[in-house]
């Protein structure tokens, strides 16, 4: 019994020492009474159980803190933050577009990257994003087509296949307000063969009007697609690669394809909210999220593409990610062009697809 008690004391002492070491290394300050501090993170709810296991619980243990989540869609969380000057959120994870809106609205604090050493290991594209002074990207994703080959009756290879008459009332696409909503406008523009930059999306919305007969509904949460596939409500959808695991869990026979003609990519970012009173702990979380060990772990458990260059994926792990050959043919949505058009696009989207 005494040996057991001694072992428990030793383990506790080791954990406390590791926690103190992490706090000192990160610059995060311990509370005056030694009690765990609270870090409020705004994020998506997708894969929350795995996130707790692989990301949040280990961070709590390492930094003697308590993580509190505020979950929801990108649009829900951004709107809530932007309309509440007394928000308690410390860190927010957003799509590239929403983050750009936040920079313009001065919602986020500039980041001292000397306190985030793992930022030196970012991919060139992700490192370029840090030049604006705000938070870094922590993963890269892109869109493709996921479908049930047994239900479609034909192989889907390209974006244009989604306009085929055999798919009438059988597909779903992301709503404009979602991470990849703006990319849908670009996909439609490619189908119309008139770039968005040339006509500000006019031809794209005409193409989306032609696609409407095939669309059962637009979705705001990619997790909803799992139920839609399982029930047979849809046989194909356009989706970000991060959602593949939850869909294939519900429908193992589902196949994901990234068209050879190309795809559109998005960086998910982590930003420190300007009003946060825990900026040192927020820095520690960012450094943790982009660390080599955690990036390797979430590549496997959450299908997140690592942006830490120290992580090298096996061919098996690289599958269904914006990595290697897929990353090379991924293009970026021009948010400098798209964001000023978003109000007009929203009106047109609702008129074309929601009436």
The predicted pLDDT at position 9 comes to: 41
Cα three-residue angle 271-277-283, rounded to 5 degrees = 40
The predicted pLDDT at position 33 comes to: 60
Greatest Cα-to-Cα distance within the chain, rounded to the nearest angstrom: 78
Q: What is the pLDDT of residues 6-46, one digit of tens each?
A: 443 443 344 444 444 454 455 565 655 678 999 999 999 88
| DSSP assignment letter at 157 | -
Which element (helix H / strand E) includes 288?
A: helix 279-289
The predicted pLDDT at position 32 comes to: 52
195, 204 in Cβ contact below 8 A? no
Q: Is the dihedral of CA 281, 307, 239, 48 positive or negative?
A: negative
Which domains are seen in the chain, by residue range? Answer: 2-140+266-318 (3.40.190.10), 141-265+329-353 (3.40.190.10)
Cα three-residue angle 343-141-252, rounded to 5 degrees = 115
The predicted pLDDT at position 278 comes to: 97
The predicted pLDDT at position 177 comes to: 92
134, 110 in Cβ contact below 8 A? yes
pLDDT of the chain along its 355 residues, tens only? 444 444 434 433 444 444 444 544 555 656 556 789 999 999 998 889 999 999 999 999 999 999 999 999 999 999 999 999 999 999 999 999 899 999 999 999 999 999 999 999 999 889 888 999 999 999 999 999 999 999 999 999 999 999 999 999 999 999 999 999 999 999 999 999 999 999 999 999 999 999 999 999 999 998 899 999 999 999 999 999 999 999 999 999 999 999 999 999 999 999 999 999 999 999 999 999 999 999 999 999 999 999 999 999 999 999 999 999 999 899 989 888 999 999 999 999 999 998 7
Q: What is the pLDDT of residues 168-211, one digit of tens each?
A: 999 999 999 999 999 999 999 999 999 999 999 999 999 999 99
| DSSP assignment letter at 321 | S
> Which tokens is 334 given?
């021009």
The predicted pLDDT at position 169 comes to: 97
């Amino acid at each position: 019994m005494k040996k057991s008690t001694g072992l428990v004391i030793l383990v506790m002492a080791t954990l406390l020492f590791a926690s103190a070491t992490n706090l000192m290394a990160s610059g995060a300050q311990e509370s005056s009474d030694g009690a765990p501090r609270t870090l409020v993170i705004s994020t998506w709810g997708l894969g929350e159980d795995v996130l707790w296991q692989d990301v949040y619980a280990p961070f709590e243990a390492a930094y003697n803190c308590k993580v509190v989540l505020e979950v929801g869609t990108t649009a829900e969380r951004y709107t809530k933050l932007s309309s509440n000057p007394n928000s308690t959120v410390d860190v927010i994870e957003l799509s590239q577009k929403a983050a750009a809106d936040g920079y313009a609205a001065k919602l986020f604090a500039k980041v001292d990257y000397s306190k985030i050493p793992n930022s030196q290991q970012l991919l060139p594209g992700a490192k370029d994003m840090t030049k604006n002074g705000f938070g870094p990207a922590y993963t890269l994703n892109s869109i493709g087509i996921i479908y049930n080959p047994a239900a479609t009756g034909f192989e889907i290879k390209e974006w244009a296949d989604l306009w085929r008459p055999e798919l009438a009332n059988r597909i779903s696409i992301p709503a404009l307000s979602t991470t990849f909503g703006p990319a849908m406008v670009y996909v439609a523009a490619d189908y119309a063969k008139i770039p968005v930059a040339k006509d500000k999306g006019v031809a794209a919305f005409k193409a989306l009007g032609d696609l409407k007969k095939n669309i059962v509904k637009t979705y705001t949460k990619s997790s909803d697609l799992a139920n839609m596939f399982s029930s047979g409500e849809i046989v194909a959808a356009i989706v970000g690669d991060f959602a593949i695991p939850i869909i294939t869990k519900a429908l193992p026979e589902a196949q994901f394809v990234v068209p050879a003609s190309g795809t559109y990519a998005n960086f998910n970012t982590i930003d420190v909210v300007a009003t946060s009173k825990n900026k040192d702990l927020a820095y520690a979380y960012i450094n943790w999220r982009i660390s080599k060990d955690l990036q390797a772990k979430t590549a496997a458990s959450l299908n997140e593409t690592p942006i830490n260059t120290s992580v090298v994926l096996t061919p098996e792990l690289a599958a269904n990610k914006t990595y290697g050959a897929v990353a090379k043919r991924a293009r970026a949505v021009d948010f400098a062009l798209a964001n000023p058009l978003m109000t007009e696009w929203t009106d047109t989207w609702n008129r074309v697809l929601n009436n």
